[in-house]
A and B are shown apart, each in its own frame.
Chain A
Amino acid sequence: GENVEQHPSTLSVQEGDSAVIKCTYSDSASNYFPWYKQELGKRPQLIIDIRSNVGEKKDQRIAVTLNKTAKHFSLHITETQPEDSAVYFCAATSFGGTSYGKLTFGQGTILTVHP
């Protein structure tokens, strides 16, 4: 099955700095890579996603890059703000067959943005 590794486990930055979280995956069949933000006791919220036919995607201060050859993808947050503080999870899945798109999550990164 798929295995997703996420680093770092904790990340502390100053407001206005950039933050980068990296994930690697093992299954070359994976073709969809979402990123979620989860606040304490709340549901995961999709913040950005990327499909395997695209190398980069950007949405305002958030961007995701994908390297299929190396099987890794990264989340980039620029101009961080205190409200960006949360736990971030990467995930991977493949569509087709009997997988039904089930997600395998990384271990999570606790991002703290200091004012």
Chain B
Amino acid sequence: GAVVSQHPSRVICKSGTSVKIECRSLDFQATTMFWYRQFPKQSLMLMATSNEGSKATYEQGVEKDKFLINHASLTLSTLTVTSAHPEDSSFYICSARPARRLITDTQYFGPGTRLTVL
């Protein structure tokens, strides 16, 4: 089956530093990747949609200058949390949608990254 990986799985950083999270589709090409944030005991909230070779589309209320997204290839998207603060502590999950030619509706989720900002 389709596998999506994320790295790192867990990161602890000091306030004011930047953190980069990688999302990779291991055995398929993904023209579209999505980044979600999930606070404890809450649902997944879409942050942005990332398309290979173009700028990401951010959801309302998500600061694009704070959450930098790069989708440089068909198998890799990165999310950089810049100048992280304690309120950015959350579970960040990516998902990848296989290229349209595969004719599938399913998104495949990564295992998530637990970010803790001290």
Q: Measuring CB to CB, which residues of chain A are less than 8 angstroms from any residue of chain B?
A: 32, 34, 41-46, 49, 51, 89, 95, 98, 100-108
Find out whether the CB atom of B44 lies under 8 angstroms from the CB atom of A44.
yes
Give A110 Cβ to nearest chain B Cβ, in Å: 8
- Interface of A, secondary structure class, is loop
Find out whether the CB atom of B112 lies under 8 angstroms from the CB atom of A89.
no
Q: Measuring CB to CB, which residues of chain B are less than 8 angstroms from any residue of chain A?
A: 32, 34, 42-46, 49, 51, 57, 91, 93, 95, 97, 105-107, 109-112, 114
Which residue of chain A has its CB nearest to the CB of B109? A43
Q: A45-B109, A105-B43, A105-B44 are known contacts; what are 14 more A-B pairs with Cβ within 8 Å?
A: A32-B105, A34-B106, A41-B91, A41-B114, A43-B110, A44-B93, A46-B106, A51-B105, A100-B49, A101-B32, A101-B97, A102-B46, A103-B34, A103-B46
- Cβ contacts under 8 Å, A100 to chain B: 32, 49, 51, 97
Find out whether the CB atom of B49 lies under 8 angstroms from the CB atom of A103.
no
Jot down 23 A-B pairs with beta carbons below 8 A, ordered by A.
A34-B105, A41-B114, A42-B111, A42-B112, A43-B112, A44-B109, A45-B109, A46-B106, A49-B105, A89-B43, A89-B44, A100-B32, A100-B49, A100-B51, A101-B32, A102-B49, A103-B46, A103-B95, A105-B43, A105-B44, A106-B43, A108-B42, A108-B43
